[in-house]
């Protein structure tokens, strides 16, 4: 991680998780990361809706020029980059791994802006919707309205790297218990 805000938020998240893969959402105290709140957000793990924002800090909203509540996170990205960011979100939420990504965006005047994105999972609980948190930190000090995010780099860290060789749907079937019906040829 290059941005000091991301390093600070990750250190706090890491402390809260202790020996677990991720902390429970209720363990994250906003007061403990008060200086970072403007850059922090929480996403719903809802692929059909483009991983909408549940909460977004004021600086994140200012960078994008609007209130982000219920708006699609993946829609911030240019069409060619959407599948990549959706895959990263899936790995963070389902495999419970942290991810950091370099992002370039286009400002209103057409100049490039450079940002760093941190995505962190919350511990999953039965019968509760999945969500994840993150921090979006610009490297330039002036806050411009940005669009067309593109991934320049990313990496996962934490526990063992995800195995993306088997499609996610097949991995879910592999752990299914009980009676299963497989369709075949008649």
Residue pointed to by tokens 């895959």: 87
d(CA 76, CA 147): 6
pLDDT one-digit tens code per residue, 126-185: 767 789 999 999 998 776 799 999 999 999 987 544 444 445 455 445 455 555 555 655
d(CA 151, CA 80): 10
Question: What is the CATH code for 4-160?
Answer: 3.30.450.20
Q: With CA atoms as reference, report the closest residue to 98 among 124, 74, 119.
A: 119
User: What's the pTM?
Assistant: 0.82
């Amino acid at each position: 991680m290059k941005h000091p805000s991301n390093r600070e938020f990750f250190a706090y998240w890491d402390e809260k998780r202790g020996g677990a893969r991720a902390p429970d959402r209720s363990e994250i105290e906003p007061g403990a990361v008060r200086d970072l709140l403007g850059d922090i957000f929480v996403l719903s793990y809802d692929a059909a809706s483009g991983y909408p924002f549940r909460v977004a800090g004021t600086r994140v909203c200012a960078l994008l020029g609007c209130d982000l509540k219920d708006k699609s996170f993946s829609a911030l990205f240019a069409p060619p980059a959407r599948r990549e960011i959706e895959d990263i979100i899936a790995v963070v939420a389902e495999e419970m791994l942290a991810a950091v990504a370099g992002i370039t965006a286009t400002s209103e005047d057409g100049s490039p802006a450079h940002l760093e994105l941190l995505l962190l999972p919350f511990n999953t609980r039965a019968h509760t919707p999945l969500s994840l948190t993150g921090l979006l930190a610009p490297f330039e000090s002036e806050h411009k309205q940005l669009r067309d995010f593109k991934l320049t780099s990313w990496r996962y860290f934490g526990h063992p790297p995800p195995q993306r060789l088997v499609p996610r749907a097949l991995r879910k079937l592999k752990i299914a218990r009980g009676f299963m019906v497989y369709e075949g040829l008649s």
